[in-house]
Amino acid sequence: MGLKDMEYLISPYLWDRDVIKGALEDINYPPVEGVDYTIHGHSFVQQPFKHHNRIYIDTGGVFTNNLTIAKIEREKVLTFSTGVGKWIPLN
């Protein structure tokens, strides 16, 4: 398999926004299998959120100056956004 074939296969997973759009509309997508968590950016959300084991943290820092980071401690996921100023657990 050549590089072009690999790019074709990987591209939807890097750039597709169907899952995040669906998660925001309460569509119940299954968790990503084989990993504890996946952390997503490049798709602006008003506030960080978790959908199963997907964690979305892009709060639009380039537009809003609200930068967000995530910290995972065992089974607990916390996010810190500069616009909020404190650690908040994600459910």
Residues of the chain with pLDDT under 50: none
pLDDT score, position 76: 93
Give the CA angle between residues 37, 55, 26 to the nearest 5°: 115
Q: In whole angstroms, give the CA distance from residue 74 to residue 3.
A: 37
d(CA 1, CA 53): 30
The pTM for the full model equals 0.81
Position 1 scores a pLDDT of 75
Q: What is the pLDDT of residue 73?
A: 92
pLDDT in tens, 51-65: 999 999 999 999 999
